Every structure is written in C-alpha cells, then in structure tokens.
Structure 1
C-alpha cells in the first residue's frame, strides 16, 4: 500500500495537533476542569467543542451530507491518533465512543426520517447516545448470538423485556440503539431498535463502578420491563440485528485502536521528557541502557500498531470487512497501551504513580482495552478461524490489476 497521506488529511492532522496543544492540554492540566469520574467537566467540554466547531474540526468521520468532513478510515486513523494525545481529545471533536460508532452506523443504515430524529442531534452535540447490547450471564457478551433480551410483536409495534449491563454512556444518553431477540433463527434472530431516554418501560438499575476513569454517562445496568416501541423504531429491518452489530463493532474496534495509539505516544512523551532531565547516581536516566531499551521497544511497538491499524483502515476503504486485520490491531494495540502506561510509570517512579501526570489515568483506563469490543482471546479465536479456513492464504498479498 501507499503510506503517503493526502495534503487534505495532513492539513486536518496539523490543525488538530495545534488545537490539542494550545486548547486542550492546558484544560487537562488543571484538575479543576475534571469531573468526579475522571473525565472533562461539561462546562470546559462545551467551550472546547464550540471552538472545535468554529475551526472546522468537528465530526470529521462522517460524510459531508450528515455534517462531517468525510475523511474515510485512513484519514480517521491519522487524525484520531493525533486527537488522543490528550485524554480529553476525542470527546472534544465528537469522535469518542460510543457516539462515534453510533453516528457512523446511523449514517449508513438509518432511514432519512430516522437520521433526522436520531442522528442529527448527536452530530450537533445536543445529545449523547448509547449502544445497548451486552448482557449479564447467560446473556450475550462477545457472542451476540447469546442475547436474551426479547422483543415481541404488538398491535402497534414491539414490546421489549430484558436486562443489559456495562452499557457505556447510558446515564447521560438521550438516544439508544438496543439489540433484542425477535426470533430463534441463528442468523436472523436479532433486531436493532431505536429508543429515547423518555420512553416508558425501562430504567437504569445502577451505574456500575469500575477500576478506571469513566466516559460521560459511565457504564450502566439497564432493565427493560415492557418497553413499548412503535414499528418505525426498527433499525435497518427486522432480523438484521446481527448485521447491525457487525457494522457497528467492526469499525468501532479499529477507532479504539486509533485513539489508543495516541495515548501510548503520550505515555512515551511523558517518559522521554522525564528521563531527559532526571539524574540518579550521576547519570541521566536517558543515558542508561535499560531506559533506552524500554523506550526503543515501545517506539517499535507503537509503529507496529500504526501499521496494523493503517492496513485495516486501508482494507475498509477497499470495501472489505477487514475482520482479521481489525482483530490483529485490536489485540496488539490494547496490550501496547497497557505496556506504554506501565513503562511510563516505571520510568517516572513515584511521580508516575501520582496524579502529577496522566500516566496513572491511562494505566487504569488501559486495562479495559483488552476487554472492550471483544477480549484478546476472542480475537485470537477469530484469527485462528481465518487461519483454518485460509491456510497459507492467510498471508496473501493483494495483486494489482495488470
């Protein structure tokens, strides 16, 4: 593949880099701008979001007809990495999960009427959204085929009963995409629904405490005890819920990796800066071979991750699903992020373990990376399945037309 990027993408990358440096990092540095869950406070967020809009850096991932800039997967890989130099970066540009993936899904499969009601308010930043799929055992987690939440037909539409948990952003969300079972067909048994915060027949049971910092709206447990929805709340069509999950989660896994690369680079940045000025026993840390080995290994790991992400992004732009490429990127970058935070803390010593830097924030956040959107082991199983199906063809190169 051609590893050059277009001047247009580079222009966006450079403008994002300046915005993060000049606008976001100073806000991040002042803990008064943080909320109680370790995220950017709403007042500071709203101010920065308006500035991002004013500078044309808003919703870059969406097609222009839906309020974005149409960067495509490769452009997103470049820009998302730059955004997440700050822990608060993606949400400022309206490129953070779960809104990011929900917007891209709605832009692709929603009807015009659904886009006007459910997509446009998320694009504008007036509301946030959530994707309600994961369930407690014996319900669906990494395997959507195990989903227990059911939608039964009524005279006017559907009645939904079930139980969801670890639903990101639910406490603050106004718009929800809900996965429910409408039949026992293994391929066409799931259906995606749209529902509003104000719809009756559901509740947030609790906001689940977690080890790390939280997105706005946290991770919640939801109970559906007879929520009635009209027929027009079906997304795509009845029985196509598995298709919806594949479209939603495939790209979302990769955008996570794009952002995590930015965080990993930030960890190296903090570690390198400290090693260059900290001395012990008459020697700068940066001059010690042990430190050089750690930072060199991280630099290589980050570049490997960038190549995996860019290959997957390129595959998506060719119109393919990039299942094995996304799985490889997800495994590598999730583990890399944890390693980068751990190494950064080790080099910084007590300073790294303190809240004087964001390293401890990234470390706590990083542990979930190996779980969200499919655990490492699930993606390794996916790769093994491809290997079994393809044999030596697993490693084929695409051949250009003669």
Structure 2
C-alpha cells in the first residue's frame, strides 16, 4: 500500500489537528467543562459541535449526501487519530462511538426510508444512538450464537421483543436504537436487527452500570424488553440477516476504536515528553536519563506498529475486503499500546501523573476497557489462531498486484 495521503485528506487532517490543539485541548483543564460522568458537558458539547461544523470538519466518515466529507477508511485513520489527541475530540466531530458505528452501518445497509428516519437525525447531531447486542450471562457476549433475546413475529407481520441487554453504551442519552434479537434457531440466519425509538413502549432501562473509568454520554446501561413492538419496515436488512449486520458494523467500528486509541496514546507520550524535559532530578533533566529515553522510545515504536496495523486494515476495508484478521491484530495492538502508554506517562510524571493536574489518570482509567470492548484480547487472539490454522504459511502472504 502507498502510505502517502492525498492532498485533500492531509488538508482535513491538518485542520483537525489545529482545531483540536487550539479549540478543544484547553477545555480539558477547566473542571467546569465536565459533566457528572467525567465527559464534556452537553451544552458545551453542542457549542463546540457548532464550531466544528462551521469549520467544515463535521461527520467526515459519511458520504456528502449524508452530511459528511466522504473519507475512506485510510483517510479516517489519519484524521481520527488527530481527533482523539483530546479526550473530548471524537464527540465534538460526531465521530464517537457508538454513533460512529451506527451511522456507518445505516449508511451501508439501510433503505432510503430508513436512512431518512434513523440515520439523518444522528448525522445532523440532533439525536444520539445505541447498539444493543451484549447480554448478561448466559446470553451472548463475544459469541452472538448465545443470544437469548427473542423477537416473536405477530399475525400482522410485526415483531415483539423480549429479553435483556447490558453494557449498552450511550443508552441513557440515545433516541435511536439498533437491537439484535433471535428470530429462529438457525445457526447462520437466526438473528435479526431491529430499529426502534426510545419513546416506544415495551422496554426500559433497568440501571446505568457504574464503571471504573469515565463514561461516554449515556453511560453503559442494562435494558429489559417486555414486548417492544417493531414494525416490519424497521427491520434492518431482512429477517435472519442480523449476523450480517453485526459483521458489517462491528469490524469497521473496532478499527475506528483503534484509530482513536492511537491518538490518545500519542497524547500520553506528548505529556510525558514535555514533563521529562522540564523536570530535573539529581542535577539532570529526566529526559536525559537513559531509562526515561527507553520508555519513550518503546512507546513511540508501539504506537507506530499500531498505526501500521490500523492503516493496513483500513486499506483492506477500502479495497472491499472484510479484513477480519487485520482488524483483530490492530485491535490487540492499539488497545494494549494505549494502556501501556498511559501507564508509562504516569510513571514519568510521578505524583503529578496520578493526580488530576493532567488528563493522564482519566486516560488510564478509560484505557483499561480497551482490552475488553468489541472483543477481549483473548477472543481476537483465538481469531488469529483460527486464521493461522486455516492459512498456515499463507497467513503472512503478500498481496500481489495484477500484471
């Protein structure tokens, strides 16, 4: 692959970088910028979103006809990394999970009528959304075949949904939902994706689950479905296509996590380097100590490895491939790199890093979930082993250009 960015993409990346540095990063130091769940205050978010939109940096992942800039996955990789140099960045550019993944899957598979009703309001920033798949034990987690939530078809063609979901990101603030439910016992065609609005009866939020880290807007919630009625026109793709929907949504969404996490990892290194230069101990700056130089060098290399894996996966997606193997490798590398970079930066900053004088402790608590969300490390390692068993030496094959 060619690693050079088109001039138009580089212009967007550069403008995002300047906007983040000038407009967003300064907000992090003001306690008044935060809501009760340690994310950007919603009224401030709305004001900043208006500025991002005015700067022409809104929803870069969507096609122009849906209000975006039409960047491919490779361009998104470069730009999302810049966005998440600030902990507030992705939400301000309307590129944060779960809206990001929901918009992309709706853009790809929804009907024109569904796009007008369910996608357009999210793309305009008028509503937020959620993707309800994960269930409490013994229901589905990383294995959708274990799904217990069921959708029963009625005589009039509608469906009624019964079951429970949990750790549903953004549910407390979401208006538009995609919920996965079982419609048959078929191993490949047993799941179906449904669209619903928060005002529809037959479901409720049982609780907002407290977590160790800062939360996305709307938290991580446990939901109960007790007869939610879904019209046939609100089935996404078709009955039995739920597994396809999850594959289409979750692969690219995992990769956008990687893009964002690498931006946060870079921010950790930047904070660590700046402090190492100014902090003197026993007559020399920390930056002059070999042990500190080794930590920073290792972090820089790990970030670059993550970037290369992420870019390769993005390139494969842009070529029309599923990139499952590449996404799994990028997911493991980016998640662990973020966690290690935050830990390293706190260590170099000492007590300052452990305090709230920097965003490092925020990033550190947030980073621990990266190795769990969208498939734990171990799940992706098993995926890679499955590819290795199938492909053997071809696991490492190079793509060959056509003559």
Q: TM-score, normalised on structure 1?
A: 1.00
Shift of 1:155: 2.3
Question: Contact 1:27 / 1:44 at 8 angstroms: preserved in 2?
Answer: no
Task: Find the counterpart in structure 2 of residue 207 from structure 1.
Answer: 208
Paired with 2:399 and 2:21, the residues of 1 have a C-alpha distance of 39
Task: Find the counterpart in structure 1 of residue 344 from structure 2.
Answer: 343
Secondary structure of 1:56 counterpart: coil
Alignment of 1:58-97 (within 5 A): 58-97=58-97
Task: Find the counterpart in structure 1 of residue 375 from structure 2.
Answer: 374
Structure 2 stretches of 5 or more lacking a match?
Answer: none
Secondary structure of 2:184 counterpart: coil
Task: Find the counterpart in structure 1 of residue 254 from structure 2.
Answer: 253
Task: Find the counterpart in structure 1 of residue 11 from structure 2.
Answer: 11
Paired with 2:366 and 2:197, the residues of 1 have a C-alpha distance of 29
Shift of 1:26: 1.5
Paired with 1:228 and 1:44, the residues of 2 have a C-alpha distance of 36
Task: Find the counterpart in structure 1 of residue 244 from structure 2.
Answer: 243
1:51 paired with 2:51, answer yes
Paired with 2:360 and 2:155, the residues of 1 have a C-alpha distance of 55
Report the RMSD for the aligned CA atoms in angstroms: 0.5
Paired with 1:400 and 1:315, the residues of 2 have a C-alpha distance of 14
Task: Find the counterpart in structure 1 of residue 154 from structure 2.
Answer: 154
Paired with 2:270 and 2:37, the residues of 1 have a C-alpha distance of 25
Paired with 1:18 and 1:102, the residues of 2 have a C-alpha distance of 27
Task: Find the counterpart in structure 1 of residue 40 from structure 2.
Answer: 40
Task: Find the counterpart in structure 1 of residue 135 from structure 2.
Answer: 135
Paired with 2:16 and 2:333, the residues of 1 have a C-alpha distance of 25
Shift of 1:229: 1.4
Alignment of 1:260-275 (within 5 A): 260-275=261-276
Paired with 1:307 and 1:23, the residues of 2 have a C-alpha distance of 28
Task: Find the counterpart in structure 2 of residue 103 from structure 1.
Answer: 103
Paired with 2:266 and 2:349, the residues of 1 have a C-alpha distance of 15
Paired with 1:394 and 1:21, the residues of 2 have a C-alpha distance of 40
Query: CA-to-partner distance for each residue in 1:332-369, whole Å, 9 max, x for gaps?
Result: 11001000000000000000000000000000000000
Paired with 1:212 and 1:48, the residues of 2 have a C-alpha distance of 23
Secondary structure of 1:328 counterpart: helix
1:278 paired with 2:267, answer no
Secondary structure of 1:200 counterpart: coil
Q: TM-score, normalised on structure 2?
A: 0.99
Secondary structure of 2:123 counterpart: helix
| Count of aligned residue pairs for this structure pair | 402
Structure 1 stretches of 5 or more lacking a match?
Answer: none
Paired with 1:54 and 1:334, the residues of 2 have a C-alpha distance of 33
Secondary structure of 1:136 counterpart: coil
Shift of 1:182: 0.1
Runs of 4+ in structure 1 off by over 6 angstroms are none
Paired with 1:253 and 1:13, the residues of 2 have a C-alpha distance of 21
